[in-house]
Amino acid sequence: MRVAEIAQPGPPEGLRATTRPTPTPASGEVLIKVAAAGVNRPDVAQRRGVYPPPPGASDIPGLEVSGKIVALGGGVNQWRVGDAVCALVAGGGYAEYCLAPAPQCLPIPKGLSLVEAASLPETFFTVWVNVFDRARLAQGDIFLVQGGSSGIGVSAIQMVKSFGNKVFATAGSAEKCAACVALGADRAINYKTEDFVEVVMRETGGHGADVVLDMVAGEYLEREIKCLADEGRISVIASLGGAKSTIFMPDITRKRATITGSTLRPRPVEFKAAVAAALREKIWPKIEAGAIKPVIYRTFALEDAAKAHALMESSQHIGKIVLTLS
Q: What is the pLDDT of residue 190?
A: 98
pLDDT of residue 207: 98
Decide if pLDDT at 42 tops 90. yes
Average pLDDT over the chain, rounded to an integer: 97
What's the rounded Cα separation, in Å, for the pair 113 and 106? Answer: 14
Q: Per-residue b/e over 28-38, b at no fewer than 16 CB within 10 Å?
A: ebbbbbbbbbb
pLDDT of residue 326 exceeding 90, the answer is no
Confidence of residue 283 (pLDDT cuts 50, 70, 90): very high
Q: What phi, psi does 87 have (nearest 5°)?
A: -150, 145
CA distance 127 to 103: 18
Determine the 3-state secondary structure of 276 from DSSP.
Answer: helix
Is the pLDDT at 155 greater than 90? The verdict is yes
Q: Is the pLDDT of residue 65 over 90?
A: yes
Give φ, ψ of 88 to 5 degrees: -90, 130
Calculate mean pLDDT across residues 30-55: 97
Cβ contact 98:34 at 8 Å: yes
- Report, as an integer, the average pLDDT of 60-81: 98
What pLDDT is attached to residue 319? 98
What domains can be seen in the chain, in order of their start residue? 2-120+265-324 (3.90.180.10), 124-261 (3.40.50.720)
For the cut 90, the answer to whether the pLDDT of residue 193 exceeds it is yes
**Contacts of residue 147, Cβ cutoff 8 Å, sequence gap at least 6:** 153, 170, 171, 215, 216, 240
Mind listing the pLDDT tens digit for each residue in 95-151?
999 999 999 999 999 999 999 999 999 999 999 999 999 999 999 999 999 999 999
Closest C-alpha to 107, from 163, 69, 57: 69
Averaged pLDDT, 46-64: 97
Stretch 208-229: mean pLDDT:
97
**Degrees, nearest 5: CA angle 295-233-294:** 10
What 8-state DSSP symbol labels residue 247?
-
Question: Which amino acid is located at 172 in the chain?
Answer: G
Q: What DSSP line would sit under 77-138, residue for residue? A: -S--TT-EEEEE-SS--SBSEEEEEGGGEEEPPTT--HHHHHTSHHHHHHHIIIIIIIS---
- pLDDT tens-place string over residues 222-277: 999 999 999 999 999 999 999 999 999 999 999 999 999 999 999 999 999 999 99
